[in-house]
Amino acid sequence: MNPTSFVTRLCVLLLLFTLPAPGADPPKAKGVLGDASSIAEEKPAEEPAPAAAPEPSELVWWNREIATFRSPVAKLTPEVRAADALKRIEEASDQLVESGVTTEEAEIDGETAIRFLVGETYLFSLLQSDLDELSGETLDSVRTTTLAHLEEVRQARIEQGSAQAIASGVTSALVATAIFIAALVLLRMITRVGARAVERRVRSWKRLHLARADLRPHVATLAEQLVKISALSFGFYLLCVWGAFVFNQFPLTEPLGSAFTERLRNFGFGLLRSAAGAIPGLFTAGFILLIARWLARMVDRVIRSMGDDSDQGLMATDTAKATRRIAIAVIWIFALVLAYPYLPGSGSDAFKGISVLIGLMISLGSSGLINQVMSGFVLLYSGSVRTGEYVRLGEIEGTITEMGILAVKILTPQREYLTIPNAVMVSNPSTNFSRLQEETGVPVITVVTIGYDAPWRQVHRLLTSAAADSEGILDKPEPYVIQKALSDWYAEYTLTCYTGNAARRGAVLSALNGRVQDAFNEAGIQIMSPHYKDDPPQPLVIPKDRWFPQDGGDSTKTTGSP
């Protein structure tokens, strides 16, 4: 941030600050018309509604309020009267500086009035109807006040014409400008050094380095921006002080400087009063959040100790993790609901509008989200799958690496990282290979189709011997073969064996298929599914003397399901 852009931002803020707040002074005519309408409704329709009173108009000269016109005279509105008075004062300004203003009593439209003159030149008049009777004004008091305002302008014009006064004002303004620029440069240097120091300090906090996310760079950036915003606010304060001081050095702009100083003082006092009034509420909200933090930590430790995948645990580790998150979320939501009314501005229309907007966004976009969350609860609390288990969902196989509220993360043997929504997990059947691997092992199944010209006993023996020779196949339970189907042209054989590691199931199945091919090649039996073209002259049957082939094995042993 260079000094030019910094000063530009401060000037923009100063301009915005000096503008009147929108809606601060609502037009009175609307309220008068509203009252007239209500009166007209109560009175008979034939009676006309009373005319609305005209808006008061201020007579301002040299940035100073001189008088207030509230009533029309000779069909001239207060605004027109103020414009005419200002025109006459401007025309007689030189004469006013020399001789001053005099007054005389008069009667205008049947009302007592006071006429203001410069010598024989008429300036304006104030009538009895121009007085603010609610504040206790009288013609004498208004006369004294208006003469004092005119005399103040007269002295200001005299002083403005003095070369010595102008030189003194310019010198003071230049000195104040130099001090202001030096203060901005110093503030910029301090801001840069302070922002770097805060950033280094935040980056060294180990508490912000979580298991899967490092929040330190983001928090450091936020702290750096807060330092810069604070410096910009202080620079804006210096700009206000400088502007008010410079305005006060010249008689023409002195009222602007005084008004700006008063407004700045009121703004600062208003902030202090608001901050002081918000302290009790902030203290209560902080106390509620502190209790919520203590409860969240206690619940976290208690539920974490319950999580154990063994039989001695009260709940599974994944279930305990989800329960802990849900419980902590409920505690914090409840705490925020309790602390919300004590936050400053919680009853304002802005807070209410934001609350309605957030509620509308959640209601419109939470249908799919709620479905995923509820499906996640089903997965977590049913215990059908857990983190670290090897599962199959349709054509997808892999190890579950994470079970979240919205989705399940699976790492396949091909090192593909898949994200499956919870609703998909619940709505589709899944196979859990790891749940019983310690007790019965993980099943490894392969299917072959062999023509009827190969003895089924020999096929059984070849398949079981291939399983016994394969690496990773358990001896217990023993491998077995089932003839699953006798099709038109071939028989279907299913070999079932077991391995002790679900994650290596694919590799063990690949090795088993290779051993099956080797065993059938050595026996001279083709692994094929024949199809007929026409009938042979002789029936394809196996003679009884070939039912038990003599090739060195135990031909009398048959296999089946254990």
- The closest of 35, 37, 32, 73 to 53, measured between CA atoms, is 32
Q: Please report the pLDDT score of residue 39 as a whole number.
A: 33
The more confident residue out of 19 and 205 is: 205
Q: Are 379 and 321 in contact (CB under 8 A)?
A: no
Q: Are 58 and 128 within one domain? A: yes
Q: Please report the pLDDT score of residue 394 as a whole number.
A: 83
Q: Are 386 and 461 within one domain? A: no
Q: Are 426 and 482 within one domain? A: no
Q: What is the pLDDT of residues 274-333, one digit of tens each?
A: 888 888 888 898 999 999 999 999 988 888 887 766 655 567 777 777 788 888 888 998
Q: Are 447 and 428 within one domain? A: no
Is residue 221 in a domain?
Answer: no
Span of 20-24, 129-133, 285-289 with lowest mean pLDDT: 20-24
Q: Please report the pLDDT score of residue 386 as a whole number.
A: 83
Q: How confident is the model at residue 446 (pLDDT cuts 50, 70, 90)?
A: very high
Q: How confident is the model at residue 527 (pLDDT cuts 50, 70, 90)?
A: confident
Q: Are 454 and 407 in contact (CB under 8 A)?
A: no
Is residue 273 in a domain?
Answer: no
Q: Please report the pLDDT score of residue 210 as a whole number.
A: 65
Q: What is the pTM of this model?
A: 0.48
Q: How confident is the model at residue 33 (pLDDT cuts 50, 70, 90)?
A: very low
DSSP 428-478: S-EEESSTTTTTT-EEEEEEEEEETTS-HHHHHHHHHHHHHHSTTB-SSSP
Q: Are 61 and 144 within one domain? A: yes
Q: Which domain holds residue 119?
A: 54-160
Q: Are 424 and 461 within one domain? A: no
Q: Residues 127-136: what's their mean pLDDT?
A: 84
Report CA 548 to chain centroid distance, whole Å: 78
Is residue 287 in a domain?
Answer: no
**R_g of the chain computed on alpha carbons:** 47
CA-to-CA distance for 522 and 553, rounded, in angstroms? 14
Burial per residue of 224-243, b for 16 or more beta-carbon CB atoms within 10 angstroms, e otherwise: beebbeebbeebbeebbbbb
Asked whether residue 532 carries a pLDDT value surpassing 90, the answer given is: no
Nearest 10 degrees: CA dihedral of 178, 180, 186, 192?
-130
Nearest 10 degrees: CA dihedral of 374, 378, 381, 383?
-150
Q: How confident is the model at residue 406 (pLDDT cuts 50, 70, 90)?
A: confident
Is residue 517 in a domain?
Answer: yes
Q: Please report the pLDDT score of residue 16 as a whole number.
A: 47
Q: What is the pLDDT of residues 61-73, one digit of tens each?
A: 888 888 899 888 8
Q: Please report the pLDDT score of residue 494 as a whole number.
A: 95
Q: How confident is the model at residue 22 (pLDDT cuts 50, 70, 90)?
A: very low
Is residue 150 in a domain?
Answer: yes
CA-to-CA distance for 297 and 217, rounded, in angstroms? 25
Q: Are 493 and 407 within one domain? A: no
Is residue 450 in a domain?
Answer: yes
Q: Please report the pLDDT score of residue 320 as a whole number.
A: 78
**What is the enclosing helix (H) or strand (E) of 409?**
strand 407-411
Q: Are 556 and 460 in contact (CB under 8 A)?
A: no
Say which CATH number the domain at 534 has.
Answer: 3.30.70.100
- If one counts the domains in the chain, the total is 3
Q: Residues 454-459: what's their mean pLDDT?
A: 90
Question: What average pLDDT is seen over the chain?
Answer: 80
Q: Residues 28-56: what's their mean pLDDT?
A: 48
CA-to-CA distance for 126 and 130, rounded, in angstroms? 6
Q: Residues 439-445: what's their mean pLDDT?
A: 86
Pick from 26-30, 311-315, 460-464 the range whose average pLDDT is largest. 460-464
Q: What is the pLDDT of residues 161-196, one digit of tens each?
A: 777 878 888 898 899 999 999 999 999 999 999 888
Q: Are 508 and 415 within one domain? A: no
Q: Are 132 and 82 within one domain? A: yes
**What is the enclosing helix (H) or strand (E) of 488?**
none
CA-to-CA distance for 148 and 59, rounded, in angstroms? 14
Q: Please report the pLDDT score of residue 492 as a whole number.
A: 93
DSSP 10-76: HHHHHHHHHSPPTTSS--HHHHHHHHHHHHHHHS-TTSPPPPPPPPPEEEEETTEEEEEE-S-BTTB
Q: Are 85 and 58 within one domain? A: yes
Instruction: Give the burial class of 251: count Cβ atoms within 10 A of its Cβ; 0-12 exposed, 13-18 middle, 19 or more buried.
Output: buried
Share of the chain above pLDDT 70, in %: 84
Sign of the CA dihedral with 533 first, then 534, 537, and 540 last: positive
Q: In the chain, what's the furthest Cα-to-Cα distance?
A: 153
- The closest of 158, 179, 224 to 197, measured between CA atoms, is 224
Q: Please report the pLDDT score of residue 314 as a whole number.
A: 67
Is residue 290 in a domain?
Answer: no
Say which CATH number the domain at 401 has.
Answer: 2.30.30.60
Q: Please report the pLDDT score of residue 512 as a whole number.
A: 92
Q: How confident is the model at residue 216 (pLDDT cuts 50, 70, 90)?
A: confident
The token pair at 236 is 């804006």
Residues 6+ apart with CB under 8 A from 139: 112, 114, 126, 128, 131
Asked whether residue 44 carries a pLDDT value surpassing 80, the answer given is: no
Is residue 118 in a domain?
Answer: yes
Q: Are 472 and 514 within one domain? A: yes
Asked whether residue 345 carries a pLDDT value surpassing 80, the answer given is: no
CA-to-CA distance for 114 and 126, rounded, in angstroms? 5
- H helix and E strand count, the chain: 14, 13
Q: Are 148 and 63 within one domain? A: yes
Span of 22-26, 394-398, 427-431, 529-533 with lowest mean pLDDT: 22-26
- Write the single-letter amino acid at 6: F
User: End of a domain among 121, 137, 160?
Assistant: 160
